[in-house]
Amino acid sequence: MNHSKEKFLSSERLPVKVICDTVRYHGNVGTMLKTFFYLNCQEFILTKGSVDIWNPKTLEASDGCQLFHHNYITTEQSWHDINHLIPRDALVFYAESEKLSQHKNFLEYKNLDCVLSCRKNIVLIIGGETEGVSNEAKDFCSSRNGHAVFIPMRKEVESLNGGVAASILLFEMARILKKNIEI
């Protein structure tokens, strides 16, 4: 790895905000928090109805990383609030099952490089375990001309849990963005 990319890994914030849309499983939020902080993302937002990041189960699942990085976490947000928090020029994605999406801009995660560039505002929305991404989140994504993104699966597997899906998508976004940035 060259030194400019090492610098990006360690000091620059990855221009990605993660939104947990009514994620109720502590382990998923904990996994997402660890990945979020490992990749040095910009902001971690939880909608109303998501787990409490200070719950002992969430703290354990995240190895307590929110204790040291809590200033990058926003909780209990409505979609009305989120609409005002996210810049209008943000590139918005939500994770969706390949079998479920009705979104017009639907792409496989390996094709993210076709739409990602060196943007400063990228948003990834991850839905809850049973319901997936809410209709409000999908409407928000559509209003920003965003994309539904899926991870292909073997037909024997119905879905990945939110923490695993978020980690795969965040690492792919980081790989693409770091490849495109010259520091």
74-116, pLDDT tens digit by residue?
999 999 999 999 999 999 999 987 655 666 778 888 989 888 8
**Which uninterrupted H or E stretch holds 95?**
strand 91-95
Output the pLDDT for position 33.
95
> 67: which 2 tokens?
């204790």
Q: By three-state DSSP, how is residue 37 classified?
A: helix
Q: What percent of the chain has pLDDT over 70?
A: 88
Query: Mean pLDDT for the chain?
Result: 86
Whether the predicted pLDDT of 6 surpasses 50: no
Q: By three-state DSSP, how is residue 110 classified?
A: helix
Output the pLDDT for position 5.
46
| pLDDT band of 7, cuts 50, 70, 90 | very low
Across the range 25-30, mean pLDDT stands at 95
Give the Cα separation of 103 and 141 in Å (integer): 10
Whether the predicted pLDDT of 182 surpasses 80: no
* Pair 68, 48: CB distance under 8 Å: no
* Pair 5, 178: CB distance under 8 Å: yes
Whether the predicted pLDDT of 24 surpasses 70: yes
Domains defined for the chain, CATH in brackets: 12-180 (3.40.1280.10)
pLDDT in tens, 135-156: 999 999 999 989 999 988 888 8
| pLDDT band of 64, cuts 50, 70, 90 | very high
pTM above 0.85?
A: yes
